[in-house]
Amino acid sequence: MKTVFLFPGQGAQYPGMGKDLWEKSDAVKDLFRLASGVMGLDMKKLLFEGSAADLKTTDKAQGAITLVNLSAAAFLRDRGVVPGAAAGFSLGEYAALVTAGVIDAEAVFSLVKFRGEVMEAASRALDTAEGPPGMTAVMGLDLPDVRDALAAAGIADVYAANYNSPVQTVLSGAAAALGRAEAALAAAGARRCIRLAVSGPFHSPLLAQARTAFEAELEKYSFADPALTVYSNVTGKPVASGGEAKRLAGEQITSAVLWVDIEKNVKAAGCAGVLEAGPGTVLAGLWKALFPEQPCLAAGTVEAILKISGQ
């Protein structure tokens, strides 16, 4: 039976995240120094002194969240908690790839820096007078009902981007299109539609330009075969090789996140413990929706990790 690390993605960020980990761990301090050098930003200042607005833009958020995800994983290892499998939600997949030995931390900070920049540029090209593109979480409807409601309303320019749970689907689209979709889904019985704290229409064909640029950048990097089981957002299944991991990293930008499939496959493979290694508790909530009998424990702070490790 394995302990599984789940890493959150963009939208989980908050000012001050990771500060307690930095204060208690030399390994975390090393990660902050590495990330600051590669990203060309003072990550300590950004995370500990920056505002929510500073952390929202894609080019900054991706490095910041990846840094805190890896910091949580490092502190867990410091306390003797070692994963046997890993998965990450959207951006979180990059911390999972590091955890599985597919890429190293220096490479991942370089990659997420580039990824954030091209995704931010592609997103800003979609800004309109109505506002920036983005994402909306639809609560209370399953994926087929969401798609049926959008089709019935004639809304073709909004995409199902994240399959989070049987009663939560996240949509991507331009600002006006998302507004129309929210109204149509409310009329179809959605309990609530929540705009997410992101600045782009992620995991949709709207970011095709970013995917093309990122796939060219990926060719500069070597991806090793996974040293432990790591799951893909694109397929919901374990990644078989470094070559597959590289290909899926490009596809992930425009493909839906099959998080429900990942959760089901993690559970079916057997897991002694499931930990959300990173900021917030979003993934713990999604896990609970499927498997309330086995909680996913928050593991993104010193207090939580010490409790998990019995220290």
Pick the catalytic residue from 25, 36, 199, 203. 203
CA atoms within 13 A on the CB side of 256: 18
Q: DSSP readout, 114-146?
A: HHHHHHHHHHHTT-BTTB--EEEEEES--HHHH
Which two three-digit tokens encode residue 233?
């957002």
Q: Cα(242)–Cα(230) distance, rounded to whole angstroms? A: 11
Alpha carbon 35 to chain centroid, angstroms: 18
Pick the catalytic residue from 25, 71, 90, 255. 90
Mention every residue, 6+ apart, whose C-beta is less than 8 A from residue 122.
Answer: 200, 206, 207, 209, 210
Q: Cα(9)–Cα(94) distance, rounded to whole angstroms? A: 9
Give 298: exposed, middle or buried? Use CB within 10 Å, 0-12, 13-18, 19+: buried
241 is a catalytic site residue: no
Q: Cα(141)–Cα(110) distance, rounded to whole angstroms? A: 38
Which two three-digit tokens encode residue 248?
């899926």
Q: Cα(143)–Cα(62) distance, rounded to whole angstroms? A: 27
Total residues belonging to the chain = 311
Enumerate the active-site residues: 90, 203
